[in-house]
């Protein structure tokens, strides 16, 4: 034990919940931090009590043999009790130097503990009508408090940093940009055989030729718009299908998705395969003809990098955060104009020279982002 040893606590409640972006971020950052740092001690705080789930998290994070890491299960009736009582009690009973969470910070924290909050995006400010009134009410109270109380705010892009400053008048010096990356399952070499393809198609009921979209099904993801653009594309490319990966039972799902599918009689052309197992996702993405990301608002856009890593041409909304991540290696469209989206999809489906130039440039672009680089920066912030 060294005299300079610190104890860092990380809120890992989302790990194992089969969420998309925010779970992915905390899983990979936590895993890389632990791999990188053997000097300091890590307390991974969760409300999960199921032993099988905890064992799975331990295995996935690869921490079974790390003497400086422990998972701490803290029981709480709900997330409000967790922030109001459960976590503060733990922080007061244990000497924790830094506590890292997402969005909402605990209400009571000992002075010795520094608070880091991760703000992935502030879509609830830009598009307040796209979330429920109850959530809007709590966010209006809790987010300003969290931003004031936090010692450091982590954002995944300069765009999100600028948005926080704009909406909440927070000092820029308090906000640190740490880009997201992609998991090692996307960066290690894959052996993809036709047999693998057949098995995946059977497992997820996939068509022969398809365009792919991956993410949550929230209104800001703009999926009804994509489905309408796809309906136009079908008139020119009748064999193509649209596959949308996302949790249809999740919170805030856009009800217009099903309505739009029915309106355009696309029930057999728009396919929802459900949650994709992590080990299947790289090969799953590599099978698609074009990857499309039609969001109205994003803090980062990990799926862009995932598609680039599998040499799939990417078509995305022309919004600042996606421009920041995609640079010049993505074909952009106006997310409010159907003709713009449909034309971009058509060009990427049919223009082989365009497809190849975007694919090759994409593989180079995605090398700029890695969880290892991000974890190094995050550890520096913890040490400060």
Query: Per-residue pLDDT tens for 203-216?
Result: 998 998 999 999 88
How large is the average pLDDT for residues 268-274?
94
Cβ–Cβ < 8 Å for 41, 7: yes
Q: How many residues does the chain have?
A: 384
| Alpha-carbon 155 to chain mean position | 12
Burial level of 14, CB count in 10 A (0-12/13-18/19+)?
middle
The pLDDT tens digits for 242-265 are: 999 988 877 778 999 999 999 999
The mean-pLDDT minimum among 195-209, 298-312, 329-343, 366-380 falls in 195-209
For residue 232 the two structure tokens come to: 């136009």
How large is the average pLDDT for residues 54-70?
93
Does the pTM exceed 0.85?
yes
Cβ–Cβ < 8 Å for 325, 366: no
How large is the average pLDDT for residues 49-69?
93
Q: What DSSP assignment string belongs to 31-50? A: HHHHHH-SSSEEEEEE----
CA distances to 122, 277, 303 from 283, in Å? 32, 11, 14
How large is the average pLDDT for residues 328-336?
96
Average pLDDT in the chain:
91
Q: Which domains does the chain have, with CATH numbers?
A: 7-181+370-383 (3.40.50.2000), 185-368 (3.40.50.2000)
pLDDT at 271: 95
pLDDT at 1: 45
The pLDDT tens digits for 142-185 are: 899 999 999 999 999 999 999 999 999 999 999 999 999 988 88
Alpha helices in the chain (DSSP H): 21-36, 51-61, 79-81, 87-93, 123-126, 133-149, 158-168, 184-187, 194-204, 223-236, 256-263, 281-286, 302-309, 320-326, 338-350, 352-365, 371-383
Q: Is the pLDDT of residue 304 over 90?
A: yes
């Amino acid at each position: 034990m060294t005299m300079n040893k610190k104890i860092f606590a990380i809120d890992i409640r989302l790990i194992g919940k089969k969420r998309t972006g925010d779970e992915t971020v905390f899983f990979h950052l936590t895993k890389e931090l632990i791999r990188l740092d053997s000097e300091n001690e890590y307390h991974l705080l969760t409300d999960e009590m199921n032993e099988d789930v905890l064992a799975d998290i331990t295995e996935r994070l690869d921490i079974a043999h790390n003497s400086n890491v422990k998972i701490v299960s803290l029981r709480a009736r709900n997330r409000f009790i967790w922030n109001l009582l459960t976590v503060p009690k733990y922080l007061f009973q244990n000497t924790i130097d830094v506590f890292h969470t997402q969005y909402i910070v605990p209400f009571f924290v000992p002075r010795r503990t520094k608070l880091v909050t991760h703000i992935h995006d502030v879509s609830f400010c830009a598009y307040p009508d796209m979330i429920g009134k109850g959530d809007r009410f709590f966010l209006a109270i809790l987010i300003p408090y969290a931003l004031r109380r936090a010692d450091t705010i982590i954002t995944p892009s300069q765009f999100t940093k600028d948005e926080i400053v704009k909406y909440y008048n927070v000092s820029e010096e308090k906000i640190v940009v740490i880009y997201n990356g992609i998991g090692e399952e996307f960066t290690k070499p894959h052996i993809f055989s036709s047999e693998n393809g057949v098995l995946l198609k059977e497992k997820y009921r996939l068509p022969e030729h398809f365009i792919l979209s991956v993410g949550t099904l929230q209104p800001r993801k703009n999926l009804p718009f994509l489905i309408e653009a796809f309906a136009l594309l079908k008139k020119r490319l009748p064999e193509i299908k649209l596959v949308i990966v996302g949790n249809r039972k999740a919170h805030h799902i856009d009800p217009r998705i099903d309505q739009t599918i029915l309106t355009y009689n696309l029930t057999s052309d728009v396919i929802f395969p459900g949650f994709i197992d992590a080990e299947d996702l790289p090969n799953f993405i590599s099978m698609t003809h074009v990857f499309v990301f039609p969001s109205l608002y994003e803090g980062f856009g990990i799926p862009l990098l995932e598609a680039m890593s599998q040499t799939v041409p990417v078509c995305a909304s022309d919004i600042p955060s996606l421009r920041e991540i995609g640079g010049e290696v993505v074909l952009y469209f106006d997310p409010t104009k159907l003709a713009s989206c449909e034309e971009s999809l058509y060009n990427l489906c049919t223009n082989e020279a365009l497809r190849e130039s975007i694919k090759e440039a994409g593989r180079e672009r995605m090398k700029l982002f890695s969880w290892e680089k991000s974890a190094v920066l995050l550890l520096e912030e913890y040490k400060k």
